[in-house]
């Protein structure tokens, strides 16, 4: 078998429905299997999706085991030469998976490949290609130096904005929202570290793949990633995110200069406290109607996913609202809603 696709779901059944529809179109010419691990969703995800996707292998967890452990559950059952970790709030084009598999075939050094991710407004997501969060890069990111000088190697080494987003590059870190892995590389590097509950596991795995003697590549195949729809931005999110940063830092930089170590730990803790306080003190506000300069609606029975993603990728009008309408279900997906 060529490809095993693994998707972890938590309370995003409509986004996952769209994701699975796009994936099924993308594997028509591939020998592939699809796993969905549901981390005890409360939105009746399985009851809704099981009848619609009988060919998908569903795993029903009785509690939320976290992203890393859920992926490892499916990896243990998978048979593919390549394994794709994919977020449920993504959309792939009909040719995307074949193109990435072809890139893997042609580049045997590639242990993992990531792609050009666009958000729901068609904007490039900089986490598509990153550098390791070394003490210096972490300091630049958290101090704001990276924002001031994003296109310099000295200060912008985390998001690598000085690398052309429309060209392939060997990079250090890929995003877990779309990470195609060579099974051989994964078996040598080890599977996902289950100490990372929700964040940081992709940085850790990218690091270990390079340590195992393979390379990570950014490949500019565009996909959509409705960033954040698969996670709820509450105080638990803040806790998991900053705990993950501390786990990674302590795991991979235990002997770093004590001054850097102190500064980074303090920056991580301070950022986490500030974010948590902001979440806790934020008052609920009435939703304000956002103004868009342009509205575009795609009907999935009239346009392919390849075409709609290319349209979003080429769009130069800021503040464009893209809607993807699915006549079969009557659901319309936008950057932050499913109705």
Domain of residue 195, CATH code: 3.90.550.10
Q: Looking at the structure, tell me whether residues 305 and 201 fall in a common domain.
A: no
Strand, helix or coil for residue 191: coil
Q: Looking at the structure, tell me whether residues 29 and 174 fall in a common domain.
A: yes
**Residue 247, pLDDT score:** 67
Sign of the dihedral through C-alpha 196, 197, 202, 208: positive
Strand, helix or coil for residue 181: strand
Q: Looking at the structure, tell me whether residues 158 and 244 fall in a common domain.
A: no
Residue 287 lies in a domain: no
Nearest 5°: the CA angle 132, 136, 142 is 90
**Residue 153, pLDDT score:** 78
**Residue 43, pLDDT score:** 96
| Residue 149 to residue 207: CA distance in whole angstroms | 25
Q: Looking at the structure, tell me whether residues 217 and 246 fall in a common domain.
A: no
Residue 94 lies in a domain: yes
Q: What is the pLDDT along the chain (339 residues), one digit of tens a residue?
A: 999 999 999 999 999 999 999 999 999 999 999 999 999 999 999 999 999 999 999 999 999 999 999 999 999 999 999 999 999 999 999 999 999 999 999 999 999 999 999 999 999 999 999 988 766 766 677 667 777 787 787 777 777 888 999 999 999 999 999 999 999 999 999 999 988 777 789 999 999 999 999 999 999 999 999 986 555 555 555 555 666 666 667 776 666 656 555 665 666 565 556 555 665 665 554 444 567 878 999 999 999 999 999 999 999 888 899 999 999 999 999 998 988
Residue 230 lies in a domain: no
| Domain's final residue, options 183, 199, 225 | 225
pTM of the model: 0.85
Question: What is the CA 311 to chain-centroid distance, rounded?
Answer: 21
Residue 44 lies in a domain: yes
Residue 194 lies in a domain: yes
| Residue 27 to residue 34: CA distance in whole angstroms | 10
**Residue 131, pLDDT score:** 85
Q: Looking at the structure, tell me whether residues 23 and 145 fall in a common domain.
A: yes
**Residue 145, pLDDT score:** 74
Q: Looking at the structure, tell me whether residues 265 and 298 fall in a common domain.
A: no
Q: Tell me how crowded residue 249 is: count the other CB atoms within 10 A of its CB.
A: 21
- The total of structural domains in the chain comes to 3
Q: Looking at the structure, tell me whether residues 34 and 117 fall in a common domain.
A: yes
**Residue 270, pLDDT score:** 59
Crossing angle (nearest 10°) for helices 235-252 and 201-211 = 20
Residue 289 lies in a domain: no
For the CA atoms of 6, 45, 60, 34, the dihedral, rounded to the nearest 10 degrees, stands at -30
- How many CA atoms lie less than 13 Å away from 102 in the CB half-sphere? 7
Cβ burial of 282 (10 Å; 0-12, 13-18, 19+) is exposed
Residue 338 lies in a domain: no
Residue 65 lies in a domain: yes
Question: In this structure, which long-range contacts are made by residues 160-166, counting pairs with CB atoms below 8 Å and at least 24 apart in sequence?
Answer: 160/126, 160/129, 160/130, 160/131, 161/126, 163/129, 163/218, 165/116, 165/124, 165/128, 165/129, 165/220, 166/116, 166/220
**Residue 146, pLDDT score:** 73
Q: Looking at the structure, tell me whether residues 161 and 111 fall in a common domain.
A: yes
**Residue 273, pLDDT score:** 61
Domain that holds residue 260: 235-281
Q: Looking at the structure, tell me whether residues 313 and 220 fall in a common domain.
A: no
| Residue 322 to residue 320: CA distance in whole angstroms | 6
């Amino acid at each position: 078998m060529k490809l095993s696709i693994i998707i972890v779901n938590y309370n995003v059944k409509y986004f996952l429905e769209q994701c699975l529809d796009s994936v099924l179109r993308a594997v028509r010419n591939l020998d592939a299997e699809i796993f969905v691990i549901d981390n005890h969703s409360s939105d009746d995800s399985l009851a809704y999706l099981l009848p619609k996707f009988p060919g998908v292998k569903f795993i029903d967890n009785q509690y939320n085991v976290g992203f890393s452990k859920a992926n490892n559950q499916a990896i243990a059952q998978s048979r593919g030469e390549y394994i794709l970790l994919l977020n449920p709030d993504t959309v792939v084009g009909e040719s995307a998976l074949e193109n990435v598999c072809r890139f893997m075939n042609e580049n045997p050094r590639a242990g993992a490949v990531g792609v050009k991710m666009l958000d729901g407004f068609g904007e490039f997501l900089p986490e598509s290609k990153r550098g390791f969060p070394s003490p210096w890069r972490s300091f630049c990111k958290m101090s704001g130096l990276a924002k001031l000088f994003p296109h310099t190697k000295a200060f912008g080494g985390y998001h690598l904005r000085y690398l052309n987003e429309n060209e392939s590059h060997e990079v250090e870190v890929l995003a877990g929202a779309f990470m195609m892995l060579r099974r051989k590389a994964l078996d040598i590097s080890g599977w996902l570290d289950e100490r990372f509950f929700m964040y940081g596991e992709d940085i850790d795995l990218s690091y270990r793949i390079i340590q195992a003697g393979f390379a990570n590549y950014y490949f500019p195949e565009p996909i959509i990633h409705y960033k954040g729809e698969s996670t709820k931005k509450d105080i638990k999110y803040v806790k998991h995110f900053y705990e993950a940063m501390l786990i990674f830092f302590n795991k991979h930089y235990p002997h770093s200069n004590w001054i850097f170590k102190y500064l980074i730990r303090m920056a991580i803790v301070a950022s986490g406290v500030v974010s948590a306080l902001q979440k806790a003190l934020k008052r609920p506000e009435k939703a304000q109607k956002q103004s868009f300069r342009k509205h575009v609606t795609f009907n999935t029975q009239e346009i392919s996913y390849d075409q709609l993603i290319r349209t979003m990728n080429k769009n130069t009008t800021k503040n464009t609202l893209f809607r993807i309408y699915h006549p079969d279900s009557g659901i319309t997906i936008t950057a932050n809603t499913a109705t």
